Amino acid sequence: MNAISLFSGAGGSDIGVNKAGFDVKVAIENDPNCVKTLSRNLKETKVISKDIRQVTKDEILAVSNLKEGEIDLLFGGPPCQSFSSAGKMKSIHDERGSLIFEYLRLVKELHPKTFLFENVKQFRYIQIDNTKPKPHYSQRDKDPNLVINHLIKEFKSLGYTITFSVVNSADYGVPQKRERTIILGTKSKNPILFPEPTHSKDGKKLKKWRVLGEIIKNLKQNEEHIIYDDKRKKFLKLIPPGGFWKSLPVELQKEAMGEKLKLGGGKTGFFRRLSYDLPSPTLCTSPKQPGTDMCHPEKLRPLSVEEYSAIQEFPENWVFEGDINQKYKQIGNAVPVRLAFVVANQIKNHLETLE
């Protein structure tokens, strides 16, 4: 079975889709460092290095040596920054957010047998027009102003049967609590069912969530990491594994947090030290952002590039191109390899029932 990869990034999804038995013919990516990463590691995949808005159906078919309708799977996750709670959440009114319509365009033009669309958890309830009032909680799933509902309506108009869900990577054996919105489409009248979880938080009926210590304790190399400044070290050295700013003595909390104390929510990402005994929190594009700190459980440093890569379950020999900040960004933006594999394997099983 063949597949086409959109918004390929550093290749996390591509690895998982390949593992599920698909031949990823083409990967489309615009970021120069990601392009170098893909080209270095995906020897059998042809990389189109271009703004996706300039990529045509004919170009994809020519490079992949496929005809319209011969694509078994089209997959990818348009940039998530416009929909993420870590950003300004400008929805489709941000240049990056509008790229979801390029995904829709290519589904319309290429007619893949199935597709996999992936984005952040918050994508589930992002509105097209943020000025419109939000419906009551009980009615919000049906809100026509939701981006996802508009997108699903368009997919259905193209003849696709749709299923969608918010999934937690940890429920499928990824050592990371990373929730993502996934939309699956098929030309068949029979929907693609989501895979059943294999792991759970309590471990009563399923295997227990995999934890950080299982992944990073015995890594052979942890050489590449960014450095904390002295102020961050002053406070982080007082935080126990699994703790955050509230673990500091009361008299130091205000000094550490300053004006950030006025922010809403639990602010649990500030001055956070990870625990070997829990899954990793969601990896972001930098392990030392003030609100999403990823301090090593024992050492006074952020997680290393190698640890980031291991948590996302990239192969040990996968090489990330660019400077250290670009490497963190590529890994933090990636889909966990195991999650991509599990979902792609479900799609493969679905396609086999159609033969």
Active site positions, annotated: 80
Cα–Cα distance for residue pair 288/274, rounded to 1 Å: 12
Long-range contacts of 189-193 (CB under 8 A, 24+ apart): 189/161, 190/161, 190/350, 190/353, 191/161, 191/162, 191/163, 192/114, 192/161, 192/163, 192/346, 192/347, 192/350, 193/163, 193/346, 193/350
Token pair listed for 281 = 């929190």
Cα–Cα distance for residue pair 192/37, rounded to 1 Å: 31
Token pair listed for 310 = 């291991």
Residue with the two structure tokens 């001055």: 271
> Residue 289: what residue type?
Q
Token pair listed for 86 = 């870590």
